A and B are shown apart, each in its own frame.
Chain A
Amino acid sequence: MVCALGIEGSANKIGVGIIRDGEVLANVRRTYVTPPGEGFLPKETAAHHRDFIHQLIKQALKESQLQPKDLDVICYTKGPGMAPPLLIGAIVARTLSLLWEIPLLGVNHCIGHIEMGRLITGAVNPIVLYVSGGNTQVIAYSNKRYRIFGETIDIAVGNCLDRFARIIKLSNDPSPGYNIEQLAKCGKNYIKLPYVVKGMDVSFSGILSHIEDLADPSKRRNKRKKAEITVEEPEYTKEDLCYSLQETIFAMLVEITERAMAHCESNEVLIVGGVGCNERLQEMMRIMCEERGGKLFAIDERYCIDNGLMIAHAGAEMFRSGTRMSFEDSFVTQRYRTDEVLVTWRDD
């Protein structure tokens, strides 16, 4: 029986979760929301996390009706992510570990997403599509590692969506991706965009530049062509742009996921990460899975978007299988690949 507290703060969400043997006892979260047109910056995000981390821990303990002495392990996000926000979680986790005399464990953020998805859906050995603001990876488990089959070669899919939302000045509340999804539902015309799949990898930065240009031609970098711009620039509505962007980039993701399924002869797909709660992505993936006789596993925003619970759960699994960490190793790292972690808790 392992009871774990997890602290997550690698991006603009700060979350605390408590889990006991797969039973969710608490999962609380605050999001740093910036004004339309602005992204979140490391320093400001860290300040936000600092303001809320203590009250979130108190809230989680209260909801779970536990005392510190009931916990077996304290888990925090070791990386990947932005250093200043990561450090907030790490420093608090270290301090609590020494104060309460409870072991400390650093958890890979990506592993947290994967294990949370498996726990909630019950998927046994799925192909995992991990899509968020900072990561885009197609992952399959093999021989004690989560191996990356395909990934983005530049920016993450969520980063592409977030930045597009900034260009067209969409609200960041509750999240830019959610607002794009709502607008896209009203889109009627598909605008042709570049479709960039390179083997098992995808690329989004070119698509972003292209759609940026369609959305706001006045910001075109090549000013020499100014004369041509005024001739015939078709008007695109925000709705059509959102719709076309979603259709294009999600089709790319479905394609590489399908190829990974064929390669691994798997018929299960699990979508995790913040973009994973987009219902259009889930719908497209479900169609692909059904055509192949497979099954899609998806989760809702409580567990999809970054949360403390996933760190607690992955940490609990590690702890149960005997993983320990010395206190001196409780640093944070901005780069920490999914396949660096030895998966000690799976026996298949």
Chain B
Amino acid sequence: MQPSTDSGSDEHTENKATEATLKIPFETAKSAEIAYRVLSVDKEPRRNFVKKDLTLVGDQIEVHFVADQVKNLRTAITSFFGALLLCTDTIKEFELKNSDNDNAGAHASANSA
């Protein structure tokens, strides 16, 4: 029994991970932030063995997946796309139009909120 082996566990070949990065652009930084916050809430199911990291970069979301198996990665990405499309469709359908100040062409005042 050698106690010193635990730091070198990454030499096993099973630990080779499959990775994927998605970069999703949005029309506005505001939409990107909403989608980022909505999609950050749900954690990956523990049995899936997929690690998912979301980052918000301006008007873009970057998602990085690390999985032990390709099939788990596919499942994780498929369900992520499902959630993403539901969120972006909801934004499109229910976005509040700035009806208060659309009479003038003043773009600067539109961000008063």
Using a CB–CB cutoff of 8 Å, the interface residues on chain A facing chain B are: 50, 54, 57-58, 68, 87-88, 90-92, 94-96, 98-101, 327-328, 330-332
Contact = CB atoms under 8 A, between A and B. Distances in A.
A95 B34 contact: yes
B101 to A, nearest CB: 15
A88 B93 CA distance: 15
Secondary structure call for the A interface: helix
- Residue of B37, B40, B43, B94 most packed against chain A (CB within 10 A): B94
Nearest to A49: B86
B86 A91 contact: yes
Contacts of B87: 91, 94-95
B42 A331 contact: yes
Interface in B9-53: 34-35, 37-38, 40-43
> Which interface class (under 10, 10 to 19, 20 to 34, 35 or more) fits B?
10 to 19
A99 B34 contact: yes
Pairs of residues from A and B, 4 with the lowest C-beta to C-beta distance, nearest first: A95-B90, A94-B38, A98-B34, A54-B93
25 contacts: A54-B90, A54-B94, A57-B94, A68-B94, A90-B41, A91-B38, A91-B86, A91-B87, A92-B86, A92-B90, A94-B38, A94-B87, A95-B91, A96-B90, A98-B34, A98-B38, A99-B34, A99-B94, A100-B96, A101-B113, A327-B37, A328-B40, A328-B41, A331-B43, A332-B42
Given A327-B37, A330-B41, A331-B42, A91 B96 contact: no
Nearest to A94: B38
